[in-house]
Chain A
Amino acid sequence: MEPMIHVNDVTFQYPGAHHPVLQNVSLTVEKGEFLAILGGNGSGKSTLCKLFNGLIPNYYVGDITGEVKVNGLDTFTHSVASLSEHVGYVYQDFENQIVSPRVLEDASFAPLHYGYSDYQERAERALEFVGLEAYSHSFVWQLSGGQKHLLALASVLSLQPEVIVIDEPVAQLDPQHANDIYHILRKIHDQWEKTIIVIEHHTEFVAQYADQVVLLEDGQVSFKKPVTDALNQVGTLLKHQIYPPQVTQAAAQLGFDAPLPITLAEGESVFRPSLHTTFDDSSIEMPMNKEPLIQFQNVNFSYQTITRKKKQVLYDVHLQIYKGDYVALVGNNGAGKSSLMRLVTGLHKPGSGEVSVNGYNVEHTSPEHLAEMVTYIHQNPEQMFIDDSVEKDVGFYMRARKIENDQELVNRLLDQFELQDLADRDSRLLSGGQQRKTSLAIGVGMDPAIMLLDEPTANLDIATRKHITRLLDQLKEQLSSVIMATHDMQLATAFANRFIVMNQGEVIYDGDRAGLFQNPVLMQKAGLVPPQIYSLSHQLGWTSPVYTVEDFVAMYRKKEGADGVYA
Chain B
Amino acid sequence: MEYTRRFTEKLSVEQMKIELLHTAYGNGHTFLAKLDPRTLFLWYAFFGIVPWFLHETRILLGMLGFMIVTTVIARVSPLIIFILCLGLLGQGGYLLVISLFFGGDFSAMLPLLKLTAKLSVISLASITVFCSMNPDKLSNGLLKIGVPGQVSFSIAYGYRMLPTLLEEYHHVFQSFRLRGKAPEKRGILYWRTIYYFIQIAMRSFYPLLLSTAKRARTTVEALETKGSKYGFNHTKVKELKLASLRMQGMDYGFLIGSAIYVASLFIIF
Residues in A lying within 8 Å of B, measured CB to CB? 53, 55, 59, 79-81, 84, 88-89, 91, 93, 95-102, 105, 109-110, 112-115, 117, 119, 139-141, 155, 303-306, 308, 345, 347, 366-369, 371, 375-376, 378, 380, 382-386, 396-397, 400-401, 426, 428, 442, 446
Contact = CB atoms under 8 A, between A and B. Distances in A.
Interface in B206-220: 207, 210-211, 214-219
B5 to A, nearest CB: 10
Contacts of B232: 113
B116 to A, nearest CB: 33
7 contacts: A55-B221, A84-B227, A105-B136, A113-B230, A114-B231, A368-B178, A383-B168
Contact of B226 (A113, A303, A367, A378): A113
B37 interface: no
Nearest to A382: B211
Contacts of B231: 112-115
A141 B166 CA distance: 12
A306 B180 contact: no
A385 B175 CA distance: 8
Given A109-B226, A115-B240, A368-B182, 15 more contacts: A80-B225, A81-B230, A88-B225, A95-B164, A101-B160, A113-B237, A115-B231, A115-B234, A139-B25, A306-B21, A371-B179, A383-B168, A386-B204, A400-B179, A428-B211
Interface of B: 14-15, 17-18, 21-22, 25, 135-136, 153, 156-157, 159-160, 163-164, 168, 171-172, 174-182, 203-204, 207, 210-211, 214-219, 221-232, 234, 236-237, 240-241
Nearest to A158: B226
B221 A59 contact: yes
Contacts of A347: 174, 177-178
A112 B240 CA distance: 7
B146 to A, nearest CB: 19
A389 B160 CA distance: 31
A91 B222 contact: yes
B207 A119 contact: no
B218 A386 contact: no
B207 A386 contact: yes
A21 B236 CA distance: 40
A141 B164 contact: yes
A177 B203 CA distance: 37
Contact of A99 (B14, B223, B229, B236): B223
A441 B110 CA distance: 66
Nearest to B168: A383
B226 A99 contact: yes
Contacts of A304: 14-15, 18
A141 B163 contact: yes
Nearest to B15: A304
A426 B175 CA distance: 17
B21 A155 contact: no
Contacts of A385: 175, 207
A120 to B, nearest CB: 9
A440 to B, nearest CB: 14
Interface of B, secondary structure class, is helix
A79 B225 CA distance: 9
Contacts of A114: 227, 230-231
A386 B175 contact: yes
B18 A306 contact: yes
B179 A386 contact: yes
Contact of B236 (A98, A110, A115, A376): A115
A484 B241 CA distance: 48
Contact of B157 (A79, A99, A110, A366): A99
B119 to A, nearest CB: 31
A303 B14 contact: yes
Contacts of A306: 17-18, 21-22, 163
Contact of B225 (A84, A98, A119, A383): A84
A93 B218 contact: yes
A48 to B, nearest CB: 15
A383 B171 contact: yes
B179 A396 contact: yes
B156 A55 contact: no
A109 B14 CA distance: 29
Contact of A428 (B160, B175, B210): B210
Contact of A140 (B160, B226, B230): B160
Given A112-B237, A113-B237, A368-B182, A100 B156 contact: yes
A101 B179 contact: no
Nearest to A81: B227
A387 to B, nearest CB: 9
Nearest to A446: B179
Nearest to B177: A367
A279 to B, nearest CB: 46
Nearest to B214: A428
B151 to A, nearest CB: 15
A166 to B, nearest CB: 14
A117 B238 CA distance: 11
Contact of B224 (A80, A102, A375, A382): A80
Contacts of B17: 306
Contacts of A380: 171
A115 B233 CA distance: 11
Contacts of B179: 371, 386, 396-397, 400, 442, 446
Contacts of B164: 95, 141
A59 B224 contact: yes
A376 to B, nearest CB: 7
A386 B222 contact: no
Contacts of A369: 182
B203 A99 contact: no
B222 A99 contact: yes
Contact of A81 (B214, B218, B225): B225
Contacts of B225: 53, 55, 80-81, 84, 88-89, 110
Nearest to A376: B178
Contacts of A139: 21, 25
Q: 9 smallest A-B Cβ distances: which pairs? A: A113-B231, A97-B222, A383-B171, A96-B218, A113-B227, A84-B225, A110-B226, A141-B163, A368-B182
